[in-house]
Every structure is written in C-alpha cells, then in structure tokens.
Structure 1
Amino acid sequence: MLQRIAQWRALEQRSADKSAEARPVFDRRGQLLPRERVGLLLDAGRPFLPLCSLAGFLQDQKDPAASVPGGGIIAGIGFVAGVRCMVVASDSGIDAGAIQPMGLEKILRVQEIALANKLPFVHLVESAGANLMRYRVETFVQGGALFRNLALLSAAGIPVITVQHGSGTAGGAYMPGLSDIVIMVRGRSRAFLAGPPLLKAATGEEATEEELGGAEMHTQVSGLGEYLAEDDRHALGIAREVLAHLGPAFSAGRSAEFHAQRPTPDARPEEELLGLMPSNLREPVDLREVMVRLVDAGTLLEFKPGYGAATVCAQAVLAGHAIGFIANNGPIDVAGANKATHFIQWLCQLGQPIVYLQNTTGYIVGRQSERDGMIKHGSKMIQAVTHATVPQITIQCGASFGAGNYGMCGRAYGPRFLFSWPSARTAVMGGEQAARTMQIVGEAALARKGTAPDPAQAKLQYERIVQMFEAQADAFHTSGLLLDDGIIDPRDTRAVLAFCLDTVAQAQARPLRTIQFGVARM
C-alpha cells in the first residue's frame, strides 16, 4: 500500500513539476504560477480537499512515464475568507492552459459537486482555449455544458466568481460572461470572442489584444469586469474580499458550529488502515476493521448482524455526524441485498448520510441464487440506492466488480463524493474470469464446427484478455477516467469523510435565494 501511495504522489508531483517549468515565463510577465494563485486565495491553515488529481492519466499519452495527470486543471474544496468554496484554476503552466478533453470532464464534475453542495464557485482563469491541433468536435459540443452549469449555479443562488488572470478566447470568453462577479488584471486579462488572428482571418479587421478585450476596456467600457486589479496578488485579494461579503448564509459561522460538535477522535492509529487491504483481493477482509478505525470512539451499532452477514450495515458517529455504513465482507447474496435495502430506507427515514465501503465481487451467482430470486432482490437494492433521499458517499477500498459496483453506489449512481484507495480495482469481472469465459465460449463455437482449439493460440488469447482487464481495473487508470473524485491515502479516510460530511451538512443548512435566471451581466 505504501508503494502504491508513493506512485500516486509521484504522479501528482509530476503535474506540479511540469507546470513549474513555465516559471521563467511567468516571472517575466510578473505573474504567479497557478498553484501559487490557489495557495494565496485559500485561507492559511484550513483544510483543502483536492479533487480528480489524476484526471487524464494515460488517456492522451499511453506511456505511463510520459503521461501528465490533472487534465490541465487544479480543483478542490477549500475555505476562502471563511467561506467553504469550490476552487478551480486553469493550470496555465501546461500548454498555456489549453482545455484538455479530460480537463473539461473534470470541470463538469466539480461544477456538479458545487451545485449539489451549494458551494460558491471560484474560477481562476487563464486559458489558451481549445487546442486546435487536437480539435475534437465532441469536445466542442459537450463543452457547452460548462457554461450551462454556470447559469444553473447562478440561478440556484450560488455565487460564481471569476478572476481573469489571462486570456479567455471564443468559448472561454463566456466564462466571465456567465459569472456573477469578474475580477480582471491590468495588462494581463483578455476576453474576446475572436482574437486578433481570427478577427483578421474572418473580417480583415486589425486590432491589438488590448483594444479588443483588455482589462481596462472591459472594466471601463463593456462592463464585463467589475474590479480592476494591478497584478495577480491584488486580484486574489479582491476575490477574498468579495467572498467575505457574501453574507451570513455563506459565512464561516455554520462551519464552526459543525466543528464545535466534534468529539475527540478515537485513539486507534490510522497507520493500521494501510495493512487491512491485502494485495491479493481474493483474500477475505472484514471491513468492520476499517469502520472502527474511522468512527468516533470506535463504536458501531450493527444492523441485522446475523442476517445476510456478508453485507455489513452499521450506524455510527463520525466527527460528530450520525451516519450509516454499508460494506462488503463477501458477495452480495439475497439476504444481504434485502438487508441493505431495508437499511437504506431506515437511514432515509432518519435523514442520516450513508457511506459505502466497497470490496465486492458482485451479486452472488449460481443455480440456487437464481431460484432464490437474486435478480429481483438485487434490483430492489439498486432501486433503494437510486432513490435514496440522503447524501451518499462511496469509498472504493478493494474490489468493485460487476453489478456490485451499482448496488454499492458506484459512479453512475451519483454519490455526492466517490474516492478510491490505491488498492481499488474496478471491472465488470476479474480478468481471469473474463478470459476463462471467453475461452469456454470459443471452445464451444469450435466444437460446433467440429474443430479443436489451438492450445498456443488459446493461451495467447487468454493472457491478452487478462492483461486488458487488469490494466483497466487499476485505480490509477479509472481515476484518470474520472470514475472517482480522486485517490486518497487510507490514513486520510477519516479526515476526508469528516470534511465531506461537514460539506453536505453545511449545504443542508445553507439557505439559498434562487432566482428564475442567472445574474445577467449589465
């Protein structure tokens, strides 16, 4: 586990190092690097939860040694002037902040999180826009959702604040256009539907960038910007002032109340979480051992412990929040599915969030299982997960195979947050099972034709299928595809859950003033 954590941290550092290579350019322009901007914006000493840090890993560049994760975007939940916010920054140290396909998916996901959790959306923008050398029509079309989401956030009563550190061209110009408050930097901010090269190509008109869309023009003539800053630091200071004046609904007071309710954490060492998940996922694990190391005082109230024992349901308190756990100590059988369904409905009646700890090979199969109605009982569990009225948070600890991924609130079921341990593996089934299934199907097809399989060819195909499944099941690969909200160190699980539970609790307590439309720029 420590080796996997080191590999993951090295991948995150690779992204930071790649961005930092642009420091001479930023210094020459009198600008801060993207990560420095985020650091200055955030409150010192307050927690920050990075999201989707491996976005894009192995997607555009298949060589693991050359792939730079992150999607060209820095994103996470943190505190600005005491307000819990979603903070997003263009990583303009990489390809001038050009939008990458998985970077777009990352922005869309964090916008979804901001909307669900009533988090002000703060965007530090400096982007070259779409990379025309890697143009993909689907990215252009789907990219429209970014701007639609900004309109939805504003109309929901959730402030959208943009600091325009650099360029915003074409579609990127709608980022400030659809923001409630825009802060621009003198001599650096640019926003135009067509930059000088496109303008000349389209109309023959010649104009400088400053004339077309400079900060002074937009704050004094067009009205696109509200505040004119002298440099990056000044702009970030203004952003902090804007957040500080959002009013009592967004103030830190509510957050302080939640923190004040927290009892002293249990003394069980978090280091023990490193050794609980075996490298071989065939070995059984009792996930109660994980639960008791996460909750206050290590105390669990287990629900129906003697029924459907392979599916563990328990109530507990974590960082002062009453919650329910659902975890897997084996395949989900008929009794386990019914028990989980009952428990989900019970937690919905109580209004308590549900935390899923995934380590499952899926719903149990076999002649007797089918006769017992596994399909219909598993479907009831999936219906309960789908319609749950309380926040759901998922941690993928180990295996997440087959329909077990669905029944345990996988990505497609819209959990508020979903994180993976480095040990997690996600697939429709294990690689060996998939290869053996295809082998049996192939042998049956040959038998119908009256021919025998070639042992060497069969062995080669078997190994190829296993390798394909194993590579795609890896947590780093699935995180690169944004099938989670990021990898977490098992030792940080309690802190991450506490932060997320604070976030959803504050969202439930935060009154919003919804309006029919987003705030229009005047």
Structure 2
Amino acid sequence: MTAETVEETRRRSMLAKIEDLHAEQQKAVEAGGKYIARHKARGKLTARERIELLVDEGSAFLELMPLAGWGSDFAVGASVVTGIGVVEGVEVMIVANDPTVKGGALNPWSLRKTFRAAEIAEKNNLPTINLTESAGADLPTQKEIFIPGGRGFRDLTRSSARKLPTVSVVFGNSTAGGAYVPGMSDYVIMVKDRAKVFLAGPPLVKMATGEESDDETLGGAEMHSRVSGSSDFLALDEHDALRQARRVIARLNWRKRGAVPAPTYAEPDLDPEGLLEVIPTDLKEPFDPREAILRIVDGVSTGSTTGGSNPVAFDEFKPLYGSALCVGWARLHGHEIGIVANARGVLMSEEAQKAAQFIQLANQKDTPLLFLHNTTGYMVGAEYEQGGIIKHGAQMLNAVSNSSVPHLTVIMGASYGAGNYGMNGRAYDPRFLFTWPSAKSAVMGPQQLAGVLEIVARESAEKKGEVFDADGFAGMKQMVEEMVEEQSLPYFLSGMVYDDGVIDPRDTRTVLGICLSVIDNQPIEGAMNFGVFRL
C-alpha cells in the first residue's frame, strides 16, 4: 500500500470538512422538523420552495448566512432564509420567513441576519422581496429584540427613500410587529384566505377592547385589498402570488449603473477542483496563494484578461518586495479585480507598506479588491518594533479603512490578530465575506493564547512570592485551548453572523462572480483621501 501524497492528504481532509459542512447546512433546511410535513399538508410551500419558484428558471440563488444561530439555543438558520436571486433579470435581495420554525418568529439571530441582508441590499443597490409569514417577535427573548428590532422597519422606509423598491408577499400570518413589514413595503401582495395581517388578533382585541371579531374582518387578504388598501394585489394562491411578485419586478424599469464586465472570458487556467489540495491540514504550514488564485480567476487560454501583448491570468505587482504578501490584478467572470493574498502567515513592515500602496492604486482606478486570508497577524519582537511594525501596520489599516472601492473577503486558512483587520475582516465592512471550512479566526492560536495566560499566571505568582502550581494550571490551560479552538472554527463564527456563509472552496469562483455582478448595480468611485499616514 503506497503512502498518501501531501496533495491527497489535503484533499481527503478538505472533503471531510465539506461533508461536515453539508450536514450542518442541512440542519437549516430541516429546522422545522415535523412541522414541515404539517405545513405542506395544508397545501403551503416551504420558504425555499417559494424562493425556487420566485427566481428565474436556471438562475443561481446565493443563500447568505445559512448557519446563523449555529451553536445557540435557536434553530440553525434563525427561522429565516436570506440570499440574492435573479427575478425577471433583476438581482434582488430575498428575505423569506420560515413558518415551520416557531411560526417564523424572529429571535436575536434572525435580527442579525436580516439586518445584514438589509445592509447588503443598501450597499449594492438591490431591491428587496420579503416572502412574509411570521408570528412576529419571539416573545421569550423580547428584551433582546424589541429595541433593536425597530431598525428593520427603519431599513424598509430608508430603502424606499433611496429608490430601492421593497416588495412584500404575504402567505399567512403577519401579526404584531410582523404586520409592519407589508405595512412599510412599496408593493404588497396578499394570498386570498391565507394572509392575515393585523397588529392584534381576535383574542387580544377581545381582551383589550371587548370587541369580538374574526381573522378576515381584522386583517384578511380580501379586507386589506378591498377595504383598508393595505394590499395592492390579491393573489388566488401562493403560485399566483409569486407570479405577481415577478410581474412587479418586471415593471420596475430596473437597470445596472455600474461597470460593464468583459463580454467574453476564459475559464481558470488551473482546475478549480485542485482547490481541495491547496490548503494544508495543519494551518501552521504555509501555502502559495497563487495556487488558489489561478483556480479562481479568469484564465488566458482564449485571450488576454489583463491587456497588453503578454497576457497573464494574475498580473502580480511588486513581486520581489514583501514576499509574504502577494498582490496583483486579474479578472473574474470578466470583472477586473485587485487581489491581496497572504503568501506566508506573518505580515511584516514590507508587506504592510506594499498592501497600503496597492490599495491606493486600486482606488485610483476604481477597481474592487479581493482579500484572501491566511495570516497569523503582524510580526512581533524587538527588532520589528524598532523597525516600525506598528506604524507600518497602521498604514495598511488606514488604507483598508478609507478605501471606498468594494471589498470582497475570503478566509481560506488562518485569520488571527490584527492581521484579520489589515486583511479586511468583518469589522472593516467588506461587501461580502465568506469562509472556507478550513478557516480559523481568533485573537491568536489556542496554544499561543493558553501559553500567554500561563506566563502571566506564573509571573503573577512570582511577584506575590508564591510557588506557581504548574500541575494545577494544566487543567485550566487545556480548557482554554479547547474553548479557543471551538470559538475559532468557521461554524461558530458563521453562527454569530461574522461571515456571509461557509462555502465549498470549489464554489468560490461562482460565489465571487455573483457578488461582483451585484456590485456592478452602481458605479464605483475610489477614494483619494486617506487621511494622515504615519510615515
């Protein structure tokens, strides 16, 4: 029996992680449990079935944040499905309540997820379609959602004010706070005999006012279509409602205002399947990001992607300087992009200065940036502190912070410390951020963090004149390592909505292509004012 090659070991490990990813994502699909069958027995479609019928046939639906709520007390997916789809040729943000999970009631993770969806729609100039069927707030957690929850209504009205249309299709109950979703949308479609939109149902009205009423009189689809005027279109059934929603989008006279990508482009010169072999099993082992880049960006098999007489798929900038970071120009699905990728984990002064300059150049030519993470952070030690690592790192952070071209981020491997910030982590507002199943992100590695705590505890004991109990601290050290390891994993971070999804590496090109197409809904204008650089 022959030994595995390094590539075979990496592939086997990544495939195992992808299998685990699919299992975790399936939990979101099946979150309703036995209530899914009950829902369908009533002749109703599930949230994902509604989306499938809404979007253009044969088009892709990019689901966002499917693991929201992972590791919490709530169902994976947080009782709502969000994502970007194409409806009548128009890219739209879709937010669909999952009524099989607690009636579609919104919990704290639902808010995080829907707020992020609204942010993506705003920054990328997307109309929004709400597929509405929600019992409103999850009452046991009202203290966590009541105050911030008002932002959802604010987002709807502000979207309309920015000329980003909002459409609400109501399939069932839309009560209490949920009633304001159709109430604040530009276009409202209600399903006959199914939609019920009211601030208070018959029992609460009876308790509050003594009035006796029924669902239809209080908030039925026919009443809102014929009497209150809160519904613009009355649908005969769910299929008819989705057809009418498509008709609304078709009448928007929507058009993209951004750059037009190259009409033709080549597939990557290297097989994307090889991405499974790029990332080492041990993230302490460095890898060449060019191996990933050439499997993601457009190739040159059928022509130049970068112009000139000597075309290359990835036109590297400053290749001999700061070699632990590779930067350069490429195209992806015909869209020009700049790429900033960690070639070795550590970032030193040269890498930071190189990145800052490259980011400025991308802004000068109004070109989106793609950041590919595999970093342990900025270099430490007396030599590097004396060499100005803080001010050079600050230059990179300044450039990232004030850059106004769209940023895309993919965390392929490690993303530790301030390196996460310098490489445009979540705190720096990338348009989209995705992680691979191999990714880890934290202040530092588990062993390093636990080791630092041990050194501090040992020094503290010595200052007090006490004997440090190394054996007693061993249990604490192990517990810290295990805790940090768990909290560094992609599912944990994705559950907290710190990314827009964990993706199969082989889907990276397609996912980024969709994102770049969405970005082109409006013009790109790079920044030229970056404030004061500490030189």
With the length of structure 2 as denominator, give the TM-score of the two structures: 0.90
Partner of 1:93: 100
Match of 2:236 among 230, 248, 254: 230
Q: Which moved more, 1:27-36 or 1:275-284?
A: 27-36
Q: CA deviation at 1:269?
A: 1.3
Partner of 2:386: 371
Match of 2:76 among 54, 69, 72: 69
Give yes or no for contact 2:31–2:76 (8 Å, CA) kept in 1.
no
Supply the distance in 1 between the matched residues of 2:69 and 2:187 (Cα, whole angstroms).
Answer: 30
Partner of 1:323: 337
Supply the distance in 1 between the matched residues of 2:71 and 2:378 (Cα, whole angstroms).
Answer: 31
- What secondary structure does 2:110 align onto? helix
Supply the distance in 2 between the matched residues of 1:307 and 1:92 (Cα, whole angstroms).
Answer: 55
- What secondary structure does 1:135 align onto? helix
Give the 3 Å change call, closer, same or farther, for CA 85–101 of structure 1 in structure 2: same
Runs of 5+ consecutive residues of structure 2 not aligned to the other structure: 1-13, 301-312, 525-535
Find out whether 1:32 has 2:16 as its counterpart.
Answer: no
Supply the distance in 2 between the matched residues of 1:87 and 1:269 (Cα, whole angstroms).
Answer: 32
Supply the distance in 1 between the matched residues of 2:80 and 2:37 (Cα, whole angstroms).
Answer: 20
Q: Deviations for 1:213-238, whole angstroms, at most 9, x for unmatched residues?
A: 11111111111110001111110010
Partner of 1:121: 128
Give the 3 Å change call, closer, same or farther, for CA 50–280 of structure 1 in structure 2: same
**Structural mapping, 1:312-461, within 5 Å:** 312-329=326-343, 330-461=345-476
Find out whether 1:46 has 2:48 as its counterpart.
Answer: no
Q: CA deviation at 1:311?
A: 1.3
- What secondary structure does 2:85 align onto? strand
Letter in 2 for 1:273: L
Supply the distance in 2 between the matched residues of 1:37 and 1:89 (Cα, whole angstroms).
Answer: 8
Partner of 1:148: 154
Give yes or no for contact 2:31–2:77 (8 Å, CA) kept in 1.
no
Q: CA deviation at 1:250?
A: 6.1
Q: CA deviation at 1:19?
A: 3.1
Supply the distance in 2 between the matched residues of 1:46 and 1:359 (Cα, whole angstroms).
Answer: 32
- What secondary structure does 2:266 align onto? coil
Match of 1:276 among 275, 278, 281: 278
Match of 1:293 among 283, 288, 295: 295
Supply the distance in 2 between the matched residues of 1:49 and 1:33 (Cα, whole angstroms).
Answer: 17
Supply the distance in 1 between the matched residues of 2:523 and 2:107 (Cα, whole angstroms).
Answer: 34
Supply the distance in 2 between the matched residues of 1:111 and 1:318 (Cα, whole angstroms).
Answer: 26
Give yes or no for contact 1:31–1:231 (8 Å, CA) kept in 2.
no
Letter in 2 for 1:304: K
Give the 3 Å change call, closer, same or farther, for CA 250–122 of structure 1 in structure 2: farther
Aligned length: 498
Find out whether 1:303 has 2:317 as its counterpart.
Answer: yes
- What secondary structure does 2:347 align onto? coil
**Structural mapping, 1:178-217, within 5 Å:** 178-217=184-223
Percentage of identical aligned residues? 45
Partner of 2:532: none
Partner of 1:514: none
Q: Which moved more, 1:292-301 or 1:181-190?
A: 292-301
Give yes or no for contact 1:351–1:390 (8 Å, CA) kept in 2.
yes
Supply the distance in 1 between the matched residues of 2:374 and 2:168 (Cα, whole angstroms).
Answer: 40
**Structural mapping, 1:502-521, within 5 Å:** 502-508=517-523
- What secondary structure does 1:507 align onto? coil
Supply the distance in 1 between the matched residues of 2:208 and 2:482 (Cα, whole angstroms).
Answer: 50
**Structural mapping, 1:95-114, within 5 Å:** 95-114=102-121
Match of 1:221 among 208, 221, 227: 227
Runs of 5+ consecutive residues of structure 1 not aligned to the other structure: 62-67, 510-522
Partner of 1:56: 69
Give yes or no for contact 1:73–1:88 (8 Å, CA) kept in 2.
yes
Supply the distance in 2 between the matched residues of 1:181 and 1:355 (Cα, whole angstroms).
Answer: 36
Give the 3 Å change call, closer, same or farther, for CA 248–87 of structure 1 in structure 2: closer
Give yes or no for contact 1:354–1:391 (8 Å, CA) kept in 2.
yes
Letter in 1 for 2:30: D
Partner of 1:136: 142
Q: CA deviation at 1:455?
A: 2.5
- What secondary structure does 1:84 align onto? strand
Match of 1:13 among 8, 26, 33: 26
Give yes or no for contact 2:85–2:94 (8 Å, CA) kept in 1.
yes
Q: Which moved more, 1:154-163 or 1:97-106?
A: 97-106
- What secondary structure does 2:248 align onto? helix
Supply the distance in 2 between the matched residues of 1:412 and 1:262 (Cα, whole angstroms).
Answer: 35
Letter in 1 for 2:137: A
Letter in 2 for 1:182: V
Supply the distance in 1 between the matched residues of 2:236 and 2:406 (Cα, whole angstroms).
Answer: 42
Give the 3 Å change call, closer, same or farther, for CA 248–428 of structure 1 in structure 2: closer
Supply the distance in 2 between the matched residues of 1:309 and 1:118 (Cα, whole angstroms).
Answer: 37
Q: Deviations for 1:58-115, whole angstroms, at most 9, x for unmatched residues?
A: 0226xxxxxx311111111111111111111001111111112111110000110001
- What secondary structure does 2:169 align onto? strand
Give yes or no for contact 1:20–1:33 (8 Å, CA) kept in 2.
no
With the length of structure 1 as denominator, give the TM-score of the two structures: 0.93
Q: CA deviation at 1:451?
A: 1.2
Give the 3 Å change call, closer, same or farther, for CA 423–176 of structure 1 in structure 2: same
Give yes or no for contact 2:167–2:187 (8 Å, CA) kept in 1.
yes
Supply the distance in 1 between the matched residues of 2:331 and 2:213 (Cα, whole angstroms).
Answer: 62
Supply the distance in 1 between the matched residues of 2:394 and 2:422 (Cα, whole angstroms).
Answer: 8
- What secondary structure does 1:15 align onto? helix
Q: Greater RCO between the two (CA within 8 Å, min separation 6)?
A: 1
- What secondary structure does 2:437 align onto? coil
Give yes or no for contact 2:269–2:298 (8 Å, CA) kept in 1.
no
Letter in 2 for 1:501: L
Q: CA deviation at 1:267?
A: 4.2
- What secondary structure does 1:451 align onto? coil
Letter in 1 for 2:478: E
